[in-house]
Copies of this chain bind each other. A is one copy, B any other.
């Protein structure tokens, strides 16, 4: 931590900062410069409260050198975390994991047909919302537990693992009973009660980046989950808020590289929500793989024009088949394969 003094700070002011730091049990190193003096704090164990320093006379601002997240950081654990789901698919282990399915579970036929088609094309995880967070209270809010049951049926039928969203602390237990991986959506990335609850639910977690969350905030949200004991956290880049309206969100693929540098957790990309438009999903899925994502999540619907939500960004099964060929080719240029699910093979 570095305390930057104002231009006109007196030597008394500097002395006051030094004393305050020493009172807290750390060392202080004043460094005079042409424009201003700065005081370095030596021996910071990450628990120094800057509030004790910003209020002192002559202090301009405090600069943090250490990051506030710990267990999720690359420095805490150099080796990549690999999250293994119940069907044996491993996220973060080098191969490219493909998750696919409709935005929402709408009916038995819809989810079974989609599951079979995406499994046949090489996906190993089925996505589909049973509880839907909708911007308007008057929009379709999902089938609830019936949706979870239909997902479980699709899993039994195809060997796909299931990822589906939990919206609140009440339902997280129910979702965890059915799902192989519990999703926390972008709108809930800083819903700390939910993060704590999912950290105790005993299931791997897919944590989506918030609408305008910094990477630091994303990692701190993951830290909430890990701090509760659940280390199997997969992050997901799904686009951030943007001033342009040509795409629904701005898919920030550089975030994949940044997360890999700062953290040992795997990160996937969701080009469907990340662009909001069918014609852009394929190119951005390919780009996600080329940027080094550990997986991609793609919305697929047997009849997008009839989808109850997000139809405009869903691929048809035939479009998804074509995309899988491209993704595999790009993965191979990087020495990677599409991840297979050992358990699924047995079930199939």
Cβ–Cβ contact B31 & A46, under 8 A? no
User: Are B169's CB and A66's CB within 8 A?
Assistant: no
Tell me if B254 and A66 are in contact (CB < 8 A).
no
For A165-176 the 0/1 string (1 means CB < 8 A from B) is: 001111100000
Nearest CB to that of A308 among chain B residues? Answer: B51
A103 to chain B, nearest CB (A): 10
Interface centre among A54, A305, A312, A333 (most CB of B within 10 A): A333
How many copies of this chain does one complex carry? 4
Contacts of A31 in B (CB 8 A): 27, 29, 40-42
Minimal beta-carbon separation of A289 from chain B (angstroms): 7
Docked Cα-Cα span, A224 to B137, in Å, equals 5
* A306 at interface by CB-CB < 8 Å: yes
Contact with B along A264-283 (1 / 0, CB 8 A): 00000000001100011001
Is the pair B34, A45 in contact by a Cβ cutoff of 8 Å?
yes
**Contact indicator B212/A51 (Cβ below 8 Å):** no
For A188, the closest partner residue in chain B by CB is B191
Q: Is the beta-carbon distance between A43 and B36 smaller than 8 angstroms? A: no
- Taken together as a complex, chains A and B put the C-alpha atoms of A299 and B291 apart, in Å, by 18
- Residue from A38, A256, A326 having most chain B Cβ neighbours under 10 A: A38
**Residues on B with beta carbons closer than 8 Å to the beta carbon of A168:** 168-169, 191, 193-194
Q: Across the interface, do A253 and B312 meet the contact criterion of CB distance under 8 Å?
A: no
| Alpha-carbon separation in the docked complex, A311 to B59 (Å) | 14
In the bound complex, residues from chain B placing their C-beta under 8 Å from that of A343 are none
Closest to A51 in B: B311
CB 8 Å contact bits of A198-210 with B (1 = contact, 0 = none) = 0000000000001
A65 in contact with B43 (CB, 8 Å): no
B40 and A44: CB pair below 8 A?
no
The answer to whether A254 touches B250 (Cβ under 8 A) is yes
Q: Is the CB of B191 within 8 A of A33?
A: no
Say if the beta carbon of A69 comes within 8 Å of chain B.
Answer: yes
In the complex, A143 has a CB within 8 A of chain B: no
Contacts of A258 in B (CB 8 A): 246-247, 280
A187 contacts the other chain (CB 8 A):
yes
Encode contact with B along A285-311: 1 for CB under 8 Å, 0 otherwise: 011111110000000000011111101
Name A residues whose Cβ lies closer than 8 Å to a Cβ of B.
Answer: 2, 4, 7-8, 27, 29, 31-36, 38, 40-47, 50-52, 54-56, 63, 65-70, 74-75, 133-138, 167-171, 187-188, 190-194, 210-212, 214-217, 220, 223-224, 227, 240-247, 250-258, 261, 274-275, 279-280, 283-284, 286-292, 304-309, 311-312, 326, 329-330, 332-334
Return 7 A-B CB contacts under 8 Å, by A number: A35-B66, A63-B65, A135-B220, A212-B243, A240-B243, A242-B243, A254-B275
